Amino acid sequence: MGSLDSVVFGKKKFSDILSEIYDNQKRKEKQISGLIAELKPLINDIGDATLIVPLIKEYLEIGVKNDEQLIKMSTIVQRALNSSGGEESLGITEEEKQELLKELDKITLETNKK
């Protein structure tokens, strides 16, 4: 998996970025589970549920977006493993790499806002 050790920018290797995405997803998963566990006991009647359930829904949506990042990561890893090497040693074009980085930035901003 030498292609994953390619420097993407600065001193940041591609494997470092994948590791950060995975670690962030796991941390967020624990945070979301904790927040949901804290909200559940606050639901005593239907009025409480109408206020709290939308919050739980938002937390779950964040979890889904995090899972989407893991799926994108596995696609990248699969391309890198199947790559024959050469200029595009990660199996993706420069344009695809930039698109993935923009998507990562977008999701990070959305997650931080919530």
Task: Quickly list DSSP for the chain.
Answer: -GGGGSEEETTEEHHHHHHHHHHHHHHHHHHHHHHHHHHGGG--SHHHHHHHHHHHHHHHHHHHHHHHHHHHHHHHHHHHHH---STTTTSS-HHHHHHHHHHHHHHHHHHHH-
> The dihedral of CA 54, 58, 63, 69: what is its sign?
positive
Rounded Cα distance, 55 and 39, in Å: 9
Residue 7 pairs in a beta bridge with 13
Rounded Cα distance, 61 and 64, in Å: 5
Q: Which pLDDT value is given to residue 41?
A: 87
9-48, pLDDT tens digit by residue?
Answer: 778 777 787 788 788 888 888 888 888 888 888 888 888 8
Q: How confident is the model at residue 92 (pLDDT cuts 50, 70, 90)?
A: low
The model's pTM: 0.53
40-74, pLDDT tens digit by residue?
Answer: 888 888 888 888 888 888 878 877 877 787 778 77
